[in-house]
Amino acid sequence: MSNEHDWHGEHQLTMSPAKPELKQPPKYRVLMLNDDYTPMDFVVEVLESLFNMGREGATKTMLQVHTEGKAPCGLFTFEIAEAKVEQANSYAQHHGHPLQCTMEQE
């Protein structure tokens, strides 16, 4: 059986596949907001458990929230940032604290 489109030998046709231009999805910063009622230990607990911070980083972030009014907790894709905000706010409410997180695009 003969193939009319046989491209072997010196007439070999090679094409590189076009590489699609991939864009990184936008990132969202989760921010923790200060309030006058949530205990500092609880804030550290939230940062350690929900944002996977070590004790030192969580303590620094908690102090920044306390002194500056807000502090970043992490940078995530939209869906993950949205879930983290919901988890933190629900966890705080469940424990009777008014602690709030929000998110903003980077």
Residue 91: other Cβ atoms inside 10 A: 17
Q: Are 91 and 50 in contact (CB under 8 A)?
A: yes
CATH number for the domain running over 36-105: 3.30.1390.10
* Model confidence pLDDT, tens digit, residues 3-29: 455 555 565 666 667 778 888 999 999
What count of Cα atoms within 13 Å lies in the side-chain half-sphere of residue 50? Answer: 25
pTM above the 0.85 mark?
A: no
Q: What does the domain layout of the chain look like in residue ranges?
A: 36-105
* Model confidence pLDDT, tens digit, residues 41-55: 999 999 999 999 999
Task: Tell me the C-alpha distance between 61 and 99, whole Å.
Answer: 14
